[in-house]
Amino acid sequence: MIYIVDDDDAFRDSLIWLIESSGHNVRPFSSAEAFLAICHEDMAGCLVTDIRMGGMTGLELHSRLVESHIMLPTIIVTGHGDVPMAVEAFRRGAVDFVQKPLDDTYLLARIEECLRQDRVNQKSRQRHRSFAERFALLTMREREVAAYVVDGKLNKQIADALGISIKTVEVHRSRVMEKMQVTSVADLMQFGLPAEISGIWQDKIQKDETA
């Protein structure tokens, strides 16, 4: 889905015609506020938004999406562009900053790039969602061991830190790998740990090392 947010009715209609003629589904909105009302983290597609609108601007809209963890690739369009605005748009993660009058071919190519990027983002979100679901199956002790493993600690170091035997560490470590459906520490480390768990146990690791 290509979401268009622009308060200029005529321009919005011309964008709808252009994008639909290229074979894409379009959902238009006349304000950033109206668009935000339907947003959710699992949205797929891309956003094309004007920068200057009554109420919230396109830059403000993009910032709100990022703050809400809605990673929708965004193209910002303006009829009053300047270098500082373009820099700000890219700094906030926009895919492109396009000035009116639009080059139709260029805009459609950038939309295709947004959609390719979104497909990558969707796969990444799905992987991390699956990882989080598997992580939830771990016991607290297994999470402790996992945190030390991700930190690069050896079994003996983990055993000393937790006050358990090396054999027990090996058992917990094996269960972690089985439940997380990974075959190596490298596979586990590529995901890291949920921030709230990782932060807690990194603090514990540091305290153990300085004790």
Query: 127-176 pLDDT, tens per residue?
Result: 777 888 888 889 989 988 988 888 889 999 999 999 999 999 999 999 99
52 token code pair: 């200057």
Neighbouring-strand partners of residue 47: 3, 74
3-class state of residue 50 by DSSP: strand
pLDDT band (50, 70, 90) for residue 14:
very high
Q: Which residues contact 133 (CB under 8 A, 6 or more apart)?
A: none
**Strands of the chain, DSSP E:** 2-5, 26-29, 46-50, 74-78, 96-99
Q: CA-CA distance, 132 to 153, in Å (whole number)?
A: 22
Is the separation of the CB atoms in 3 and 45 below 8 Å?
yes
Of 23-37, 134-148, 185-199, the least confident: 185-199
Give 195's pLDDT tier (boundaries 50, 70, 90): very low
Closest CA to 73 of 127, 119, 27: 119
* Confidence label for 204 from pLDDT (cuts 50, 70 and 90): very low
Average pLDDT over residues 80-94: 70
Asked if the model's pLDDT at residue 178 lies above 70, the reply is: yes
pLDDT band at 11 (very low <50, low <70, confident <90, very high): very high
pLDDT for res 81: 63
CA angle 191, 194, 196 (to 5 degrees): 155
Average pLDDT over residues 11-21: 95
pTM of the full structure: 0.68
